[in-house]
Amino acid sequence: MSTQPGMPAASVAAPPADPAPPGTSPAPVAPVAPVAAGPVVARTRDELRMARRQLTDGDVAVVMTMGALHEGHATLIETARQRAAHVVVTIFLNPLQFGPREDLSRYPRTFDSDMEICRRAGVDLVFAPTPDVIYQDGDPGVRVSAGPLGNVLEGQARPGHFDGMLTVVAKLLHLTRADTAYYGQKDAQQLLLIRRMVGDLDFPVRVVSVPTVREADGLAMSSRNMYLTDSDRETALCLSRALRAGAAAAAEGPSAIRRAARSVLVREPLALIDYLVLVHPSTLEDVPEWYRGEALLAVAGRVGTTRLIDNLPISVGPSGGPLEVFSDVDSAGA
């Protein structure tokens, strides 16, 4: 087991008190507030195995992240904390899911503040391996295939991304032996594919989704928001505004939803929109005009040098509107 430099110390010893001068009474000593112990940090498979072995009294939840943690991640962790006896957070920038022209090398790395968020949220164990620990035999020849759902939307823009993502998710589920895994609705296609993998390949884990956490002005929180300049950030607001406009037209049906969302985006020429779709949440196919029920309004685009995604589950129909709910799916054997 190792801890990182800069990690909060598990306990703080009070400095020795100066002796009181003769003839005076000693100054009252302020009570020292107990400092919560930070999570155990595991860097290697052996360290993880040893630390995981201690988490025996109750179920274990995992929250998988790429670091640069924000309130969205914290909400996943806190939700897991409320529901499970133990929480494991993984921090791993997975090279397999980044394309050659993507932002792996500049992706923000903020380990010390990540640890502080984990400590405050009561995380038991942080697994923060390097790529050689995860891919100990080099580039994996065998990978999980996302199948056709991995080739549309984000998969079309980022070839191979979802195979790389599912491969590491499978490995981290095996390594952490979690009973439950928490993912954000923010990455809706990722969530869908993880659910499919867990169901199709009989992983003994329950997948829980957590609604997207947003800034007060509606921007979906993302580690990549750190790349945005002030004016980029203004521009980026058009994504969530478009989703809200679409949701407001939910009662009128699919083409009204698409039209309302598009009318917001066309007013913001600095956002280079890759796609805006209203799709079925489990097939990711465009819903037809007669469709009523749950659908996913999803958008992706580039603002400045940053690619952003956002989505809103919507109920299409007479009493329609946005649907942001927690959901659990039991897989076989879980």
Instruction: Kindly tell me which of 187 and 232 has the beta carbon lying closer to ligand AMP.
Output: 187
Give the closest residue to 114 by CA, choosing from 70, 51, 152.
70
C-alpha distance from residue 221 to each of 44, 68, 71, 72, 226 (Å): 30, 11, 7, 6, 10
Site string for ligand AMP, 184-203 (x = CB under 6 A): x-xx----------------
Residue 115 zone, left/alpha/beta (φ > 0; ψ -120 to 50; rest): alpha
How many Cβ atoms from other residues are within 10 Å of residue 231's Cβ?
Answer: 11
66 and 92 Cβ atoms separated by less than 8 Å: yes
Instruction: Kindly tell me which of 213 and 295 has the beta carbon lying closer to ligand AMP.
Output: 213
Phi, then psi, of 208 in degrees rounded to 5: -120, 135
129 binds ligand AMP (CB under 6 A): no
Instruction: Kindly tell me which of 7 and 80 has the beta carbon lying closer to ligand AMP.
Output: 80
Shortest gap between Cβ of 278 and ligand AMP (angstroms)? 20
- Identity of the residue numbered 288: P
In sequence order, the 6+-apart residues with CB closer than 8 A to the CB of 296 are 188, 277, 278, 279, 280, 281, 284, 311, 312, 313, 314
Where does this chain touch ligand AMP (CB under 6 A) — which range of 8-16, 30-38, 69-77, 278-286? 69-77
Identify residues 80-109 at the interface with ligand AMP (CB under 6 A): none
Q: Count residues contacting ligand AMP (CB under 6 A)?
A: 17
Name the DSSP class of 274: E
279 binds ligand AMP (CB under 6 A): no
240 binds ligand AMP (CB under 6 A): no
Q: Strands 180-184 and 206-210, how do they pair?
A: parallel
Indicate the length of the chain as a whole number: 334
Q: DSSP string of 304-319?
A: TTEEEEEEEEEEESTT
Structure tokens belonging to residue 228: 């945005």
Active site residue 73: yes
118 binds ligand AMP (CB under 6 A): no
CA distance 303 to 232: 6
178 binds ligand AMP (CB under 6 A): no
Instruction: Kindly tell me which of 249 and 311 has the beta carbon lying closer to ligand AMP.
Output: 311
Which of 52, 73, 86, 307: binder of ligand AMP (CB under 6 A)? 73
176 binds ligand AMP (CB under 6 A): no
Q: Strands 180-184 and 321-322, how do they pair?
A: unpaired
3-state secondary structure of 324: coil
Which of 65, 176, 180, 235: binder of ligand AMP (CB under 6 A)? 65
In sequence order, the 6+-apart residues with CB closer than 8 A to the CB of 220 are 72, 186, 212, 213, 214, 239, 240, 308, 310
Which of 213, 247, 250, 287: binder of ligand AMP (CB under 6 A)? 213
307 binds ligand AMP (CB under 6 A): no
Instruction: Kindly tell me which of 75 and 176 has the beta carbon lying closer to ligand AMP.
Output: 75
162 binds ligand AMP (CB under 6 A): no
Q: What is the signed CA dihedral for 79, 308, 157, 279, rounded to 10 degrees?
A: 60
Where does this chain touch ligand AMP (CB under 6 A) — which range of 72-80, 155-163, 269-277, 283-291? 72-80
Residue among 70, 73, 86, 161 flagged as catalytic: 73
Where does this chain touch ligand AMP (CB under 6 A) — which range of 25-33, 155-163, 205-213, 236-244? 205-213
219 binds ligand AMP (CB under 6 A): no
Q: Which residues contribute to the site for ligand AMP (CB under 6 A)?
A: 65-66, 72-73, 75-76, 183-184, 186-187, 210, 212-213, 220-223
- Residues annotated as catalytic are 73
